[in-house]
Structure 1
Amino acid sequence: MNARTVGKLQSYRFLSQDNWLASFFPETLLYTESTFRHLLHKYRSVIVKPNLGVHGNGVLKISKIMDRYRFQCDDVVKTFSNISLLIDYLQKVTANECYIVQKYIELATINERPFDLRVMVQRKIDHDWEITGQYAKVAKRGLIITNLKSKADVLPVEEVLLTLNVGEGQRRMQALVHSIALRTAQRLGERFTEHHIWGIDIAVDRYGCVWMIEANARPGFRGFQKLKDRSMYRTIMEVKRYNKELES
């Protein structure tokens, strides 16, 4: 099986077999009218996104606020007076693709802008997995997507975590983020033995809890080029060159 063609739901189900990793995932289901109603009733805010989506394309946030329903996709916001109208609209949006629905994580913010973390995990051929880079993706004001394509800003992880004011807890949080990223790559490496790189997206919510969002088999490198310190970018490229030389 090719790691690059595996959907988010398949990855979630596989990784959730690891009980420790499963504790960090938001509840995720295949999108149907029934599962959507269930999770929206349970959490009041959910994310609906394409199973094979990339770059944050097609990510929808739906919330129940009092007796109304709020829909957001990028900077488009719609309000529906009842759930039937909302579902009719969602059926049109999701008609031509497989979608998943999951609990919405209210991300921690910096200057009222949500952020999450990208952790790059690589493996030199015949070596163990290692973390070769990380950065924080800070969404544009008013948007829910922390993707570079949506013009998110890139900041050092340490700088962003300092704003959470968790004191000594910052080191424990960073260690937990790294443990989740490494364990994810190790588990995926058991399934996709020829794949040597994963971009792991990890979130911290407004209460300081850490969540595993998804693993990207084709992670980009532009974020690392945007950092003032280019050492992580050089390390990532060095590992890629090492593997390419051995494979050639």
Structure 2
Amino acid sequence: MTKLNTSKWTKYKLLRKSSKLNVNLPETAWLRKSSFWRMIKKYRELIIKPTGSYGGNGVIRIKKMAPSTYEVQDGATKKIFTQQSQLNAYIKKQASKNNIIQQRIPLATVNDRPFDLRVMVQRRLKSPWEVTGKLAKVAGKGFVVTNIRLSSGKVVSVEHALKNSALKTMRAADLLSQLDKVALQAAQKLGPFYPWVRTMGIDMALDKEGNVWIIEVNFIPMLGLFLKLKDKSMFHKMKSFRKNIPINES
């Protein structure tokens, strides 16, 4: 079998074929002027990101503030566009960089800062997939991306994030169980297309209603973030699956 492209766009299209996972996937499209205007009208807030990069690089948020006013946030920098022609020129420039566009999920927050989740799913040779670790990444002040290096955010346990968010009124055990279920379904869907992959770092999110979302799937996840947790047992378990997984987060 020819090796499939491992871009975000290709993996999204494969996951979208699963009837089970459709409800967990934010609408995503290849960035074009037509797809941008269709989706900004539908969702009012979108994320633009490169299909081939990792680590939060190049992620931009665009939010419709008023009928002809749009806020563009790149890192901690915000710009306001009040003319459609200006925004069209900006979108055209971004579209030339092989970007995808995605419905922005209203992430649950800790102290008004959005957080998402890294769920590690691994398998040993000829064994089923299993969840081997989870953590929460809290965005730095003023950022919408949760990448720790880019936003100067912080890593906390998923339990800590849930307890200190508006989701604390929901049963943590139920939320954790749903995260595991969706992560395993994603690995089981992608696994046959990428048979050489035995470790997946799945970036997931909980919205403000507690719904589970798959943001993207990384086949070369770094483990360094798990060393930032007080409990190092998940890190040691993950290392036992693969001796050569990179440790330093890039």
Give the corresponding residue for 1:149: 149
Give the corresponding residue for 1:127: 127
CA RMSD of aligned residues (A): 1.6
Say if 1:48 and 1:61, in contact at 8 Å, map to a contact too: yes
Give the corresponding residue for 2:12: 12
1:88 matched to 2:71: no
Cα deviations by residue, 1:148-177 (Å, 9 ceiling, x for unpaired)? 222220000011112234445321111110
Higher mean C-alpha deviation, range 156-165 or range 136-145: 156-165
1:187 shift after superposition: 1.1
1:199 shift after superposition: 0.2
Q: Alignment partner for residue 220 of structure 2, among 218, 221, 230? A: 218
1:83 shift after superposition: 2.1
Task: Please show how residues 1-248 of structure 1 align to structure 2 within 5 Å.
Answer: 1-2=2-3, 5-66=5-66, 67-95=68-96, 97-150=97-150, 151-163=152-164, 164-167=166-169, 169-241=171-243
**Separation in structure 2 between the aligned mates of residue 6 and residue 203 of structure 1, nearest angstrom:** 21
> Aligned partner of 2:105: which letter?
I
Q: Provide the secondary structure at the position in 1 that maps to 2:200.
A: strand
> What stretches of structure 1 of length at least 5 have no aligned partner?
244-248
Q: Provide the secondary structure at the position in 1 that maps to 2:243.
A: helix
Cα deviations by residue, 1:17-41 (Å, 9 ceiling, x for unpaired)? 1111111101101110000000001
> Aligned partner of 2:124: which letter?
K
Cα deviations by residue, 1:181-238 (Å, 9 ceiling, x for unpaired)? 1111111111111110000011011222221111111111111011111111111111
**Separation in structure 2 between the aligned mates of residue 156 and residue 58 of structure 1, nearest angstrom:** 26
> Aligned partner of 2:160: which letter?
E
**Separation in structure 1 between the aligned mates of residue 128 and residue 244 of structure 2, nearest angstrom:** 14
Q: Provide the secondary structure at the position in 2 that maps to 1:57.
A: coil
**Separation in structure 1 between the aligned mates of residue 215 and residue 32 of structure 2, nearest angstrom:** 20
1:94 shift after superposition: 3.9
**Separation in structure 1 between the aligned mates of residue 84 and residue 216 of structure 2, nearest angstrom:** 28
**Separation in structure 2 between the aligned mates of residue 230 and residue 33 of structure 1, nearest angstrom:** 46
Cα deviations by residue, 1:97-117 (Å, 9 ceiling, x for unpaired)? 211111111111001110000
Q: Provide the secondary structure at the position in 1 that maps to 2:210.
A: coil
**Separation in structure 1 between the aligned mates of residue 244 and residue 30 of structure 2, nearest angstrom:** 39
> Aligned partner of 1:44: which letter?
R
Say if 2:47 and 2:59, in contact at 8 Å, map to a contact too: yes
Give the corresponding residue for 2:248: none
Say if 2:7 and 2:51, in contact at 8 Å, map to a contact too: yes
Give the corresponding residue for 1:246: none
> What stretches of structure 2 of length at least 5 have no aligned partner?
246-250
Say if 1:122 and 1:129, in contact at 8 Å, map to a contact too: yes
Task: Give the direction of change, closer, same or farther, for the CA distance of 1:175–1:49 in structure 2 (3 Å limit).
Answer: same
1:144 shift after superposition: 0.5
Say if 1:69 and 1:83, in contact at 8 Å, map to a contact too: no
Say if 2:32 and 2:92, in contact at 8 Å, map to a contact too: no
Q: Provide the secondary structure at the position in 2 that maps to 1:23.
A: helix
Task: Give the direction of change, closer, same or farther, for the CA distance of 1:85–1:130 in structure 2 (3 Å limit).
Answer: same
Q: Provide the secondary structure at the position in 1 that maps to 2:93.
A: helix
1:2 shift after superposition: 4.5
**Separation in structure 2 between the aligned mates of residue 62 and residue 88 of structure 1, nearest angstrom:** 14
Q: Provide the secondary structure at the position in 1 that maps to 2:101.
A: strand
Task: Give the direction of change, closer, same or farther, for the CA distance of 1:167–1:89 in structure 2 (3 Å limit).
Answer: closer
1:86 shift after superposition: 1.1
> Aligned partner of 1:56: which letter?
G
Task: Give the direction of change, closer, same or farther, for the CA distance of 1:33–1:175 in structure 2 (3 Å limit).
Answer: same
